[in-house]
Each structure stands twice: as structure tokens, then as C-alpha cells.
Amino acid sequence: MAFENQYVQQRIEKAEALRALGIDPYANHSERNTTVEKFHNVNSDLFKKEDQRDEHRHYTVAGRIKLYRLMGKASFVKIEDESGMLQIYVARDNLPENFYNDVFKKLIEVGDIIEVSGYPFVTQHGELSLHADSLKILTKAISPLPEKFHGIQDKEMRYRQRYLDLIMNSEVRKTFHIRSKVISLTRRFFEDKGFLEVETPMMHPIAGGANAKPFVTHHNALGIDRFLRIAPELYLKRLIVGGFEAVFEINRNFRNEGMDATHNPEFTSIEFYWAYKTYKDLITITKEYFEYLFDHLDLPKRLPYGELEVDFDQFSEIELIQSLSVIGGVPESIVNDKEAILAFLKSNNLEAKATMNLGQLQGELFDEFVEAKLINPTFITHYPVEISPLARRNDERPELTDRFELFIAGREIANAFSELNDPVDQLQRFEGQMAAKDSGDDEAHEMDEDFVTALSYGMAPTAGQGIGIDRLVMMLTNQHSIRDVLLFPAMKPTHNQTNHGEEE
RNA sequence: GUCCCGUUAGCUCAGCUGGUAGAGCAUUUCACUUUUAAUGAAGGGGUCGAUGGUUCGAAUCCAUCACGGGACACCA
């Protein structure tokens, strides 16, 4: 790290000049007594008064200088704090002797964080502003901000230096406020329903609960490898065995796979498990959850998503097999006929392996012909058992499972089902996965004998659900890349960053 | 993984079929006491992502690499 850039050098010299004048360019406290938002709210009455100023009111605000307009013996600057932007009028004759010429004009600039005291007034152009009678630098910024009008356009810089993105782009701040609220509301919703928030291990001896490649780390004291968790599912079910009847966990999962607009190596989900309930109860609570989010987020029920509009008042529900013909336009006569589906896929120039079973082929039809058409929130229910290894079979139709996925704007948002709690069946399914692993499927589920042992003591009939928080926030904020809802998305190291990983 | 696009001043971007670097903002100096991306004048600032190659000459053409973006395939 070096500060050899000419602009940085100039600013360092200004910080030194401030010190030479007895001014600390990095003050250790502030006298701020109001925020910009409160200032605007409290003083909005001035617009209605004849004399649009009140010298008897006095406020101290603080923030970063975003704009700076100097006009001889007076200036306008705009400062911004987290709550908003405020214009400050700074006139030479209202400040201490020489301060305006020697300090304000020469040593304070855009990017610096300042504190200003004064009274409120409305300018000739009708902008409520602060008339400064004292001004103090709180923090000298030695790197210049990006260009004031276009801001920061370079996505790479926005992600690598998110703080600059946040400084320059209030829409980005808004997105992350919504994300924070979503997580907070999610927690409160489930707590209010009587769920217990729990924390289960992030470092697993066996990476289970999903089919995905894990990150591996090493525990020196024990001399063993540990896996960053790919899902909390198996631990949360152990807690149901233990007698907790409603648990949830909001936390990160880690998957050692590709990165793109909808995948980050670490992502946030909520998983919740509810004893003595079925997937039908989960559909009900999911609808309530969305109602709750929209009520508390102050968002309209009809939200744009790119070219689309999603109506969160229009939840619907349809069985997967039915959706193939009703929504996907696949001939109803073929949806339960393996050979006919194969022929249909081929006639649509889609790849289909003859080794695929009926359930997999139905899943293929769904992915190709239905998924993208599910714009308003849609529960797709009764997935074939072949593509639902952890879900309970339907009592009447054992080829199907008591499962649903929720789709919004053509994307999967949640996956839920009545849980498999037959320990013998679970053991057999794990053994099936081991066979798949032996024949080359490196994402097949690991055997977890301890989990089977847990089930053997009896897990009450339970329904469980996972919701991808990142994707949910994408929907709610009309963002189309997961990087835009993650404060610090995963990025490759740049050349000048030392990578302590193993050499290729 | 594959394909396409991008990388030029602190930032946002021009730079044509190769002739040796441009603008706006920012910065420096000057003027200006109600501006709204303030305005007017003058100046400084660049290993043109990296490394090779072609050429008398490369920001420009070619190759390789790095990083980023987008699309496709798999996973949430």
C-alpha cells in the first residue's frame, strides 16, 4: 500500500497543514445533536413563514461533504449522513477570523467529514439549509471520491470497494437496509410463531443436508478435516428428535461450486422445522410470512422485477404433474409415459438421457416448459419421489412426495416438505447415495450414521422448509445479481493481493 | 467449464482503416456573499490491464495471461 498518487499526496499535505494550525484532522468526538433527516423534519415549517429563517434555532449536524460550491466570500456545501443530504451555507463573516480563508477554503474539500453548527433557513431557490456559524473537520479523507455526477460505474470497483459504492449510491444503501429488515422481520415472524432460534455447527465432520461440494478446512488440535456446512438440515432435525418442536436458524451455507448471478460461495438461508405439521401447514405459514414481510417493509404488493411484474397478492398452488400440461403446454397424454416424454423432449431439440427415470424426466419437463412461466408466487407441489430423496412419500400416491417448491419470477425461492422420519428408509436412501458416489457422482449425499441413529430414537412427524434469503431480497429489491444483495460478494483476488493458498 | 464483451488521468468516458494521448468532473492558481452537476480564466496530471509478437512506428493489429461483466450448462 502506498499513497504516492498526486491527489493523495496533496490531501496528506492538507492534513499536515491542519495539524500545524492546531487542528486535529482526525477528531476524537463530535458534538452532533441531530441528524439530517430530523433537521429537515423539524424545520419544514419555515417554508410557510414569511421570514424563512429562524436564528433562534440552533443545530449541530455532521456528515461527509458530497458537493462543494465556492463563490468568493461565501460557499455552499452539501453534507450527507446516513439519513440524508443537507445543504450548508458557509459565509466568511459568520465564522471566526481567518477560518474561512485559511482553513475552509484551503484545507477542507469533498470527501472530508465535517461537523457544522448554525441556524435553519430557506434559500432563494427554496432549499432548506443550515446557515453555519461554526465548522469543524472531523475526518480528513486523503483519497478523493469518484466523480460527483456519474459516481462509480465500474462494477468491479463497486464490489471490491463496497464502501465507495455505499458513499456514492443511495440506492445501494437502500437495498441493504431492506436486506437487513428482511432478516430482522424473518426472525421476529418465526419467534412470534413460537419458533426457537438455534445455532448449529458451521464446521461439520460430514457435509450433509444437501447435494453439493463442500469447502474443507483443518482442525489442528484434533488432526482432522472439517467441512464448512452446506446445509443445517440434519442438525436441526436432531433437535426435533431431542424434543424441540419448532426451531429455525438463519445463517450462512457454503458451497464449493461455481459463481454467477445467482450463486455465491457463501449464501444465507433460513431453515425451519416444525413438529406435528405437514407441508400443507408450511404453505399456509409461507403465505403468512409474505404478508408479514410486505406489511412491515412498506412495499407495494405489485413489484417490478426487470421486465416482469410480480403480484404478491396472487399466490397459487398446482401439482407438478398438472403444471406440465396446464402451464407448460405439454400434451397431457404423455406426462406419465416415460417413452413419450423422451420422444417429446427430442422433438423439441432437448437433451434427454434414456437412462433417466420417469420422475427425472418429469422434472426435466418442468424445468424446460414451466419454471420460467411462474411469475406470480406459485407453490408447485407433489414432486416425484425420484427427485426428492429427503421428502416423505404421499400416503395415497407413493410415487409422489409431500413436498413443494415456491417459485417467483421464474426462480425457486423455497423448498419444503414433510420430512422423512423412517430411520430404516433413511438408511437405505443414504446407502443409495453411497452407491451413486461410488459410481462417480461427487455430489451424492454423504452417509451420516449418527443422523440415522438420531432418527432411530423417533422424530415426530415434522415439516421443514428452507428459504434463500439472498434470492428473496433480490425479488424484493428488483436486483438481478446476487452480488448486488451481498455487501461483500466473493471476488477473485487481484494481482497485488497476496494469496496464501496453495500454488497451482 | 464454453462463448461474447470490456480494461485509456483520481472518477466518467472519447480516441476511425497503425503516425506517438483527449474531453468533462476532480485537483492547483486567480475572480466571485444565495448556489443547485454553480460560473469565468489559466495550469498540472497518463508504464493506454500485463507479457510477448508483427511493424520504421502499436492505446489501435495478432497471441497468451489476469481481472471484471453478460449468456449457456450444473448447483440454492
pLDDT digits (tens, 9 = 90+) for A163-212: 999 999 999 999 999 999 999 999 999 999 999 999 999 999 998 888 88
* A248 confidence band (pLDDT: 50, 70, 90): very high
- Residues 293-352/A with CB within 7 Å of nucleic chain B are none
Terminus-to-terminus CA distance in chain A, angstroms?
26
Cα separation of A205 and A207, whole Å?
A: 7
Q: At what angle do helices A233-241 and A449-456 cross, to 10 degrees?
A: 30
Cell numbers for A51? 421570514
Q: Residues A377, A479, A388, CA angle at the centre, nearest 5°? A: 45
> Are A480 and A474 spatial neighbours (Cβ–Cβ below 8 Å)?
yes
In chain B, which nucleotides are within 7 Å of a protein Cβ?
1, 6, 10-13, 24-29, 31-39, 44-45, 66-76
Shortest-distance nucleotide from A89 CA to C1': B34
Instruction: Determine the distance between A157 (CA) and B6 (C1') in angstroms.
Output: 14
pLDDT in tens, A430-447: 888 788 777 767 677 888
Give pLDDT, residue A433: 79
% pLDDT > 70, chain A? 97
* Res A381: pLDDT: 96
**Whether A5 CB is under 7 Å from strand B:** yes
Backbone angles phi, psi at A58, to 5 degrees: -145, 130
CA nearest neighbour of A135 among A283, A27, A294: A27
For residue A390, which of A418, A358, A412 has the smallest C-alpha distance? A418
B/e letters for A124-159, b = 16+ CB within 10 Å, e = fewer, are eeeebbbbbbebbbbbbbbeebbeeeebbeeeeebb
Mind listing the pLDDT tens digit for each residue in A273-331?
A: 999 999 999 999 999 999 999 999 999 999 999 888 999 999 999 999 999 999 999 99
Higher pLDDT, A211 or A39: A39
Beta strand A224-228 with A246-254 is unpaired
Residue-wise pLDDT tens digits, A40-59 = 999 999 999 988 999 999 99
A70 touches strand B (CB under 7 A): yes
Give pLDDT, residue A180: 97
Residue nearest to nucleotide B66 (CA to C1'): A495
Question: Distance between CA atoms of A242 and A460, rounded to whole angstroms?
Answer: 10
Distances (CA, A) of A191 to A196, A197, A413, A435: 6, 7, 21, 41
Percent of chain A with pLDDT over 90: 78
Nucleotide with smallest C1' distance to residue A164 CA: B11
Mapped to the 3 state alphabet, what secondary structure does A242-300 carry? CCCCEEEEEEEEECCCCCECCECCEEEEEEEEEECCCHHHHHHHHHHHHHHHHHHHCCC
Determine whether the distance from the CB of A421 to the nearest atom of strand B is below 7 Å.
Answer: no
pLDDT in tens, A123-157: 999 999 999 999 999 999 999 999 888 889 999 99
pLDDT top residue among A491 and A275: A275
Pseudo-torsion of CA A194, A184, A472, A306, nearest 10°? 140
Average pLDDT over residues A66-71: 95
Cα angle A298-A380-A235, degrees, rounded to a multiple of 5: 80
Average pLDDT over residues A214-221: 92
A503 touches strand B (CB under 7 A): no
A354 or A281: whose pLDDT is higher? A281
Buried b / exposed e along A84-106 (16+ C-beta atoms within 10 A): ebbbbbbebebbeeebbeebbbe
What cell numbers appear for A36 in the block? 439530517
**Residue with more model confidence, A362 or A351:** A362
Residue A405 CA and nucleotide B60 C1' are separated, in Å, by 53
Q: What number of CA atoms fall less than 13 Å from residue A39's CA on the CB side?
A: 35
